[in-house]
């Protein structure tokens, strides 16, 4: 019977640019590439996204996180298309209602994320690059990056990490 709904390709929505201390990126931009662009412009704040496999739209949708930071720390504005009305609007950071692995977009299915504005800070290029490389090294040493992955499928408990429960159950 197929899929009942619309499938929208974001393949060509992949432009990003720097404006002062903001990075503006369309939903199809790879978050990893945006982190590199920010670093090359001496802007800090996106280091934790270096090495993440997602695109801007998906990272905003699920409030991507790593190393105790998440998208709520850097997203200032998101431009969205209401697929029912055709209206394009902006949501400020508070309207995202970010939580752990949550954003308003999970409930507002009529919103299609078009682009985001990330508010970053001036930084020192070498310090930014070193932090990005440190995060990437931690990823490489803790995750099997040479194998396909469905990503994290466990919700982090309020105390500790899911991995402890997996280990305790003998399922690692």
**Using CA atoms, how far apart are residues 124 and 2, in angstroms rounded to an integer?**
51
Q: How far apart are the first and last CA of the chain?
A: 38
Instruction: Report the pLDDT value the prediction gives residue 145, as an integer from 0 to 100.
Output: 62
Instruction: Report the pLDDT value the prediction gives residue 144, as an integer from 0 to 100.
Output: 67
Instruction: Report the pLDDT value the prediction gives residue 9, as an integer from 0 to 100.
Output: 84
pLDDT tens series, the chain, 172 aa:
688 877 788 889 999 999 999 999 999 999 999 999 999 999 999 999 998 888 999 999 999 999 999 999 999 999 999 999 999 999 999 999 999 889 999 999 999 999 999 999 999 999 999 999 999 999 888 776 666 665 556 666 666 666 677 777 777 6
**Using CA atoms, how far apart are residues 46 and 128, in angstroms rounded to an integer?**
9
pTM of the entire structure?
0.81
Instruction: Report the pLDDT value the prediction gives residue 1, as an integer from 0 to 100.
Output: 67
Contact between 154 and 162 under an 8 Å Cβ cutoff? The reply is: yes
* Long-range Cβ contacts of 20-23 (<8 Å, 24+ apart): 21/119, 21/120, 21/121, 21/122, 22/76, 22/117, 22/118, 22/119, 22/120, 23/117, 23/118, 23/120
H-helix or E-strand containing 32? helix 31-40
Give the 3-state DSSP-derived string for 127-165, with helices as H, strands as E and coil as C.
HHHHHHHHHHHHHHHHCCCCCCCCCCCCCCCCCCCHHHH
Contact between 23 and 118 under an 8 Å Cβ cutoff? The reply is: yes
Instruction: Report the pLDDT value the prediction gives residue 142, as an integer from 0 to 100.
Output: 78
């Amino acid at each position: 019977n197929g899929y009942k709904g619309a499938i929208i390709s974001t393949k060509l929505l992949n432009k990003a640019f720097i404006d002062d201390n903001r990075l503006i990126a369309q939903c199809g931009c790879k978050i990893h590439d945006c982190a590199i662009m920010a670093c090359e412009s001496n802007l800090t704040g996106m280091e934790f996204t270096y090495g993440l496999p997602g695109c801007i739209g998906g990272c905003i949708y699920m409030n991507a996180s790593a190393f105790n930071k998440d998208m709520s720390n850097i997203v200032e504005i998101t431009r969205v298309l209401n697929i029912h009305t055709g209206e394009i609007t902006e949501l400020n950071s508070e309207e995202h209602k970010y939580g752990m692995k949550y954003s308003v977009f999970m409930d507002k299915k009529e919103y299609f994320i078009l682009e985001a504005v990330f508010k970053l800070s001036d930084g020192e290029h070498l310090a930014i690059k070193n932090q990005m490389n440190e995060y990437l090294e931690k990823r490489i040493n803790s995750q099997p990056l040479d194998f396909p992955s469905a990503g994290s499928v466990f919700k982090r408990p309020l105390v500790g990490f899911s991995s402890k429960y997996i280990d305790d159950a003998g399922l690692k």
